[in-house]
Amino acid sequence: MIPNVLSIAGSDPSGGAGIQADLKTIAALDCYGMAVITALTAQNTRGVSGVHVPPADFIARQIDAIFDDIDVAAVKIGMLADPAIVEAVADRLRHHRARNIVVDPVLVATSGDSLGGPGVVEAMRRHLLPLATLITPNMPEAAALSGRPEPRTLGDLEQIAEALRADGCAAVLVKGGHMSGDSADDVLADAAGLQTFSALRVATRNTHGTGCTLSSAIAAHLARRLPLHAAVDSAKRYLTGALLHADGLKVGGGHGPVDHGWAHRP
């Protein structure tokens, strides 16, 4: 049976990140994708020019509508624009006993534009992260969530991943994509300890939506009942392939998207 995966995130009209990237990834990995939209953004590959946020109670109604009717095998969470939305999402997921929750704490877009308002980090720490099966912060997001300096080395990634787990996260994948070097290294901290996932660093300008793509890929693999470490490994290999094929796309003049459909082409 094809598992159902729910993305709770913002919309990117250019198609490279947010809900659009999540649904493409979920479909590419043979799951059925669903979407609760937490924000409408006006953005393209060059940046974000506007954000419209629906009321928190309407976002809660979207979540209830899905869980009241559909079996949800995994949930990916992306952009949550204000503390009220964070609390509403956490409350409804707790109410519905959602499983396989992957939180990508989207705070800043690839372009550098802010996507999270005041109080969002603290609301995530208090209400959402304790519910998560896995959180997937990049280096700046890990620093914001932990209150520590931004990591610079692989050792720093390990320390901040362990610190976030000690704060109550079941598992933490700190992504090292902002570091330099030939290898793109991510560090997973969970009950089994620390594990590093490495891949070739791909030289491309088309990196829009990489965090959304990785987290939704992990959620899809968890929905297909892969253990966490295998889900992370498979998701990273999928993202690496999407980056390797990204220059075959011609989308915009800024940071273009990755190629979510690469694996289904000859």
Are 62 and 88 in contact by the 8 Å Cβ rule? The answer is no
Give the span between the Cα atoms of 142 and 78, in whole angstroms. Answer: 15
Report pTM.
0.95
Are 177 and 108 in contact by the 8 Å Cβ rule? The answer is no
Give the span between the Cα atoms of 227 and 231, in whole angstroms. Answer: 6
Contacts of 112 (CB under 8 A, 6+ apart): 47
Count of structural domains within the chain: 1
Chain centre distance of CA 238: 14
Q: What is the pLDDT of residue 11?
A: 97
Q: What is the pLDDT of residue 182?
A: 82
Q: What is the pLDDT of residue 118?
A: 65
Residues 65-88: tens digit of each pLDDT: 999 999 999 999 999 999 999 999
Helix (H, G, I), strand (E, B) or coil at 222: helix
Give the span between the Cα atoms of 71 and 5, in whole angstroms. Answer: 9
Q: What is the pLDDT of residue 152?
A: 87
Domain that holds residue 62: 4-264
| Residue 59: closest CA among 7, 122, 136 | 7
9: Cα within 13 Å, side-chain hemisphere: 34
Helix (H, G, I), strand (E, B) or coil at 124: helix
Q: What is the pLDDT of residue 111?
A: 47
Q: What CATH number is given to the structural domain containing 157? A: 3.40.1190.20
Q: What is the pLDDT of residue 180?
A: 73
Q: Which helix (H) or strand (E) holds 183?
A: strand 183-190
Write out residues in the chain with pLDDT < 70, as ranges.
Answer: 108-118
Active site residues: 175, 207, 209-212
